[in-house]
Amino acid sequence: MSKKYELKNLTSGKTSEHKAISGTIGPDVIDISNLTKEQGAFTFDPGFMATASTESKITFIDGDAGVLLYRGYPVEQLAEKSNFLEVATLLINGTLPTKPEIEAFTDSITRHTMVNEQLLGFFRGFHHDAHPMAMVSAVVASMAAFYHDTMHIGDPRHREIFAHRIIAKLPTIAAAAYKHTLGQPFIYPRNDLRYCSNMMNMFFAVPCEPYGIDPVAAEALDLLFILHADHEQNASTSTVRLAGSTGTNPYAAISAGVSALWGPAHGGANEAVLDMLDSIGSVANIDKFLSRVKDKNDNVRLMGFGHRVYKNFDPRAKIIRDMCYKVLQKMGKSNNPLFELSLRLEEIALKDDYFVSRKLYPNVDFYSGIIYSALGIPRSMFTVMFAIARTAGWVAHWQEMVSDPNMKIGRPRQLYTGPIKRDYQPIEKR
């Protein structure tokens, strides 16, 4: 029998009945779509602490158990056995691709990596010290002006071309942003290279000498991309969905997602973690730093710790921490003082009642910057790397939403606490 909930107005005694909807796994949700009609009231849940904003078949998180599944597959298995482009097709299409399917997808992505030459001209308009996230967000939005030939979001083929273009071109745009900050010439994509090797080449090659791509680095990047590819209704994905729900151009929706990701509470945390480690400086200063974190008046957070959903270890953080050992060793950078510092910081924090009682554990951003740094990627590009990977998830969610015949514009309500109706006063009477 299906479960039902009753909501009672304790003043008037009026009740309303709400059915529970069960997913395949995870807690039920209570359908309150009839609440306003029945009770004349809205629910109030700032920050969506107890609100499911949508139904989705893409990613599942059990925050208490530290479980993350993409289309049902544990992220640990995908990290060990898959690669980023395969994970991207899995997220978008729902099934692991067959050999011909992944070959066709990889070929299409490889052949869409170039961007319109005019689009590269945008970078000349940015100051050399512009943050790459600002440039990437702006240039992604500008793609709407270049690729409007396939913008009928109701047409599955148009949606597919959009998906391939954005996944293929984002590394090219990211590399152009990076080269602009360096004042170096832009390096064109190479179709003989795989996704991450091509990206490394566009980032680090210069026209005057050959650049040897380190396979260890490309493999590490691919693994990081798998781990960042999706995370259900996080702030940036919800932003892409909300913007996309108006029927806007999908590049504009992705650009909105890039902007939402930038904040330090979300994807910007990877950059903030390394700034924090620098400011701590050495193991001897950890206790002093943690006292500041625990002091409510100090407004300092332990960056890379805590998560809205995980109240246990973020499974991605565990994989990335293990990866740090391997990558640093393989690259001959085992004595990495920032890694040592972060390990000690984690150890001390996880024994401290402040973090234990609040169930604050390392999240995906705690260790990822250590690897990006070891690969030579500068701090200001960390969140851009996150954006490249998360594009797969954003596209999957956008596709899922716009192909739903029942798609509705996202339009939350509010609790109004401003002034009641009052009359306009002429300036001399104010």
The footprint of ligand CMC (CB under 6 A) covers 47, 234, 265-267, 269, 293, 301-308, 358, 360, 363-365
| Burial class, 326, CB count within 10 angstroms (exposed 0-12 / middle 13-18 / buried 19+) | middle
Residue with Cβ nearer ligand CMC (269 or 320): 269
Rounded to an integer, what distance in angstroms lies between the CA atom of residue 73 and that of residue 68?
8
Task: Annotate 93-141 with DSSP letters as a single string.
Answer: HSSPPPHHHHHHHHHHHHHT----HHHHGGGGGS-TT--HHHHHHHHHH
357 vs 425, beta carbon nearer ligand CMC: 357
The answer to whether 186 and 179 have CB atoms below 8 angstroms apart is yes
Determine contact, residues 15/8, Cβ cutoff 8 Å.
yes
Is 206 strand, coil or helix?
strand
SS3 assignment, position 62: strand
Nearer to ligand CMC, 136 or 364 (CB): 364
Which candidate, 308, 323, 224, 232, places its Cα nearest to that of 265?
Answer: 308
Catalytic residue among 112, 164, 180, 266: 266
The CB-of-339 to ligand CMC minimum distance in angstroms stands at: 17
The answer to whether 107 is a known catalytic residue is no
Q: Minimum Å distance from CB 180 to ligand CMC?
A: 25
State the virtual CA torsion across 384, 67, 71, 159 in degrees, nearest 10. Answer: -20
What letter would DSSP give residue 263?
S
What count of other Cβ atoms lies within 10 Å of the Cβ of residue 184?
14
CB closer to ligand CMC, 365 vs 400: 365
Q: Is 365 labeled as catalytic in the residue annotation?
A: yes
- Report how far residue 315's alpha carbon sits from residue 319's, in angstroms, rounded to the nearest whole number: 7
Q: What is the closest distance, in whole angstroms, from the C-beta atom of residue 360 to ligand CMC in the complex? A: 5
Q: Least Å distance between CB 246 and ligand CMC?
A: 24
Minimum gap (Å) between residue 330 Cβ and ligand CMC: 26
User: Of 70 and 162, which CB lies nearer to ligand CMC in the complex structure?
Assistant: 70
Instruction: Assess whether 148 carries a catalytic annotation.
Output: no
Is the CB of residue 361 less than 8 Å from the CB of residue 305? yes
Catalytic residue (one of 307, 322, 353, 423): 307
Closest approach of ligand CMC to the CB of residue 263, in Å: 9
Which residue among the candidates 180, 230, 365, 397 is catalytic per the annotation? 365
Q: Which is nearer to ligand CMC, 106 or 238 (CB)?
A: 238
Query: Minimal CB distance to ligand CMC: which residue?
Result: 306
Which residues are CB-contacts of 52 (< 8 A; sequence separation ≥ 6)?
A: 29, 233
Active site amino acids = 266, 307, 365
